[in-house]
Chains A and B, each alone.
Chain A
Amino acid sequence: MTGALSRRALSRRALSRRALSRRALLRGLAAAVGALYAVAPAGRASASPALSAGPALPVDPVTVATLEAFADTIVPGVKRYPGDHALAGAAPGPGAVQAGAITLLRAPELGLTPLLPGLAGLLDVEATGYATTHGRPPLSLQPPLSLQPPLSLQPPFVGLRYADRAALAADLLRPGTPDQKLWLLLALVSALAFDTAAHLHTPDAVRHGHPGLAHLRFPQPDADGLWRYPRFSYQRTLADPHPSTTPSGSPA
């Protein structure tokens, strides 16, 4: 009870400090993730091998680290280098981040980039609330997030251990909770990067060993970029049909 209250109070204070309208953020995010499914102009889509991450607006390292930590909570992976704090290293092999989650989030086609700092800020506020109500290190002692912290000072969500990140994410993603759609959209982008390589043409992604598709053991296409399976059936009668099947093969 008190925990939830203090967390909400914390959120409110932090939100007003950043003059962030949660509703505007939600709307923007919804639209942005909508754009995730959007039509890329056909010409451009086939001309560029990847959603161009190059000219994307700069995003501050705190935001990047926070969003990486969230994506890594959805599909966890190994740390990329010694002292990688954003990735918890909870699972072997590459995770959503290595699969391109941040590239996808920052893709100009999504129009999401301007909203990312606000989203990360909101997540860090939730993380601070979680930490204080679960007896974790006093993250509130850290400097304001708008300052670029030295590497040793991590954003609050990054400061959580994997189990806590996952517990908080589960909390935020529970159906019926206030901002659930917002976190679900972020989770969806993370998963799409891993499970579909949504920023790449699939034949290229598979051929170049995209880590998510490789993890699934997604099959290789033919030389022309199309999939075909000449052998596809056990070619055996494996069950008896229902006795009242009608001549067209339908149920009676």
Chain B
Amino acid sequence: MNAATETTDVVVIGSGFGGAIPAYRLAAGGAKVVVLERGPWLRTEDFTHDLRLGTYTRIVDLIQGDGITVVAGNCVGGSSVVYFAASLRAPGFVFDRRGSLGHRLWPASLRRATLDPWYERVEQTLPVAQQSWHDVPYPGGLFAAACRNAGRTCNPVPVAVDLRRCTNCNWMLSGCRFDAKRSMLLNYLPAALAHGAEIRPLHEVQLIGPAVTPGYRYRVTYTTVDGDDYRVPTGGGAIEAKIVVLAAGAMATPVLLQRSAAALGGVPAAVGRYFSSNGDRVSVAAMNEDRIRDVLGLEREPGVPYEALHIGKPIGSMSYDRLDPHAAEFTRFSLQQIYFPTITNLLTRSGDAGSSWFGVEKKELSARWRSWLTVLAMTEDDNEGTFGVPPPTGAFTRLASSIGLSPLRYAPTANTLRGWAAADTEARAVLERDGLSRVRPWSDVGGALCAHPLSSCRMGDDPATSALDDSNELRGHPGLFVTDGSAVPTSLCVNPSLTIAALAERAGPAIVRRAAEFGVPVRYSDAW
């Protein structure tokens, strides 16, 4: 406490895609990097196949806002540890989106073509595997067959999974016990460590302000938290750095900046505004096994057409048919087969009534759980989420170690609702055709459900509606970069991790340039 303030070249806040990638590039280039991560550091053996309280809940947060519930990771490796590994490039039209502001929302320098080299680099580094139809589990096969039956196309989904190690256990939310899922724990983070970066788990950053040590720019203040109860602080401290890379995720980054606004002498108005849920919209189809056999000709075992919801990698196949660049904005989406653990079974509805997620008919539907097929539509939402007053500490009020109340408010606009309606219609057209199933969207009893929070501190060319310039630097704050999902300007119509990662790779050279300018002995290295 009475020692001189700790200093380092670079502080990285958060260790997901957005944090791990710059941490590696900067460390590999010669900078001294310290990564501060709020969550615990789990090893492969710590990941269990268990839904008991106190297991997966150590690494997954359920964050409730007003009108929305968001799921996100809380551990070293961030959401990459608990995610489902679908690794997709965003369709070209996304970069030209105008939303309801009437001007292009992405920086002029960013198009699909300019991002392609960075996408490719990430695909090689994770690495991403292309599934063949032989790798696609039963639910993905069933969705594909239904798409073909309805005159649609359907693709196997590229996944960041070592297909030889994967056991198709369907426990990805609990972290991968088989080292098959290529999370940040298996690539960028060990590479950063090998170049001398330091990762400090259970360090929750509270404030970013100006440094007091000459030659340093930012002072990052944190508390350390108890590994058994994250609500309990165990200490605290501060580190000063020449460069700060803020990558606490789209639910945390804007909150940290809002709290730091006074200390930093103000932050751009777009911080904490324009949040996107990626337009996530989940529906469950209760499939008719006889029709699967008679209409689609599928049989996985003698006499068993499907009954395989529980088997697989959670994401197997998806349809790109509605990603039509010529269609009107807010009507485009992808439709993806996905599996969610039974924690979410509550949300499945047995009827059209608002209360049909519980009761007698719902229980009957649960008996056919193995015959459910879940689909996720990723639509064009309206960036309508806004963060209110930040809580005293952290990114949300942590009621317990894995549940929080966020100041985020999300009230879907007519544009977003239009996209959801279009997605619902398409899901029905594919899955209800020829009596294959009944499809219903999840209950809205908990608001919109989102696993892909984005855009709450976004890049752009217009200072009024974007917080970052096109090199991910916070406007007015040289050396303070934001490289996580909050930097992505709009929903992506596909799962976002590959885009977040590609943007973080793309930011590397600019961050290194700024670091060198501020006296850090660092060179950009594209080596792997």
Contacts and interface: CB of A to CB of B under 8 A. Distances in A.
A184 B62 CA distance: 15
Contacts of B405: 30
Contacts of A37: 53, 57, 62, 400-403
Interface in B130-175: 130, 133-138, 141-142, 144-145, 147-148, 152-158, 167-171
A101 to B, nearest CB: 13
A225 B49 contact: yes
Contacts of A241: 153-156
B169 A201 contact: no
Contacts of A187: 346, 358
A39 B230 CA distance: 8
Contacts of A228: 167-169
A248 interface: yes
B400 A234 contact: no
A118 interface: no
Contacts of B145: 238-239
Nearest to B56: A37
Contacts of A173: 355, 358, 445
A216 B369 contact: yes
Given A184-B445, A227-B171, A248 B355 contact: no
Interface string A200-237: 11110000000000011111010001111111111111
B128 interface: yes
A97 interface: no
B513 interface: no
Interface residues of A, number: 78
A200 B58 CA distance: 16
Contact of B359 (A34, A35, A76, A201): A76
Contacts of B518: none
A159 B412 CA distance: 40
B342 A196 contact: yes
B88 A195 contact: no
Given A39-B57, A239-B154, A248-B123, A198 B169 contact: no
A2 interface: no
B60 to A, nearest CB: 8
Contact of B53 (A199, A232, A249): A199
A188 B345 CA distance: 10
A75 B92 CA distance: 46
Nearest to B312: A232
B55 interface: yes
Given A192-B343, A237-B133, A240-B153, A175 B447 contact: yes
Q: What DSSP secondary structure best describes chain A's contact surface?
A: loop
Interface in B362-396: 362-364, 366-367, 369-370
Contacts of B346: 187-188, 191-192, 195
Contacts of B123: 248
Nearest to B135: A233
A91 interface: yes
B53 A51 contact: yes
Nearest to A243: B153
B51 A202 contact: yes
Interface stretch (B21-29, B95-103, B315-323): B315-323
21 contacts: A30-B399, A35-B399, A38-B229, A39-B54, A39-B228, A39-B402, A91-B363, A174-B355, A187-B358, A188-B346, A191-B358, A199-B53, A218-B369, A221-B49, A230-B167, A233-B135, A233-B138, A234-B136, A239-B148, A246-B89, A248-B120
Interface of A: 30-31, 33-42, 45, 51, 73-76, 90-91, 93, 95, 107, 109, 162, 166, 169-170, 173-175, 184, 187-188, 191-192, 195-203, 215-219, 221, 225-246, 248-252
Given A232-B137, A232-B308, A234-B138, 4 more contacts: A196-B342, A203-B50, A241-B154, A248-B128
Which 4 residue pairs across A and B have the least CB separation, nearest first?
Answer: A40-B54, A34-B399, A34-B400, A170-B355
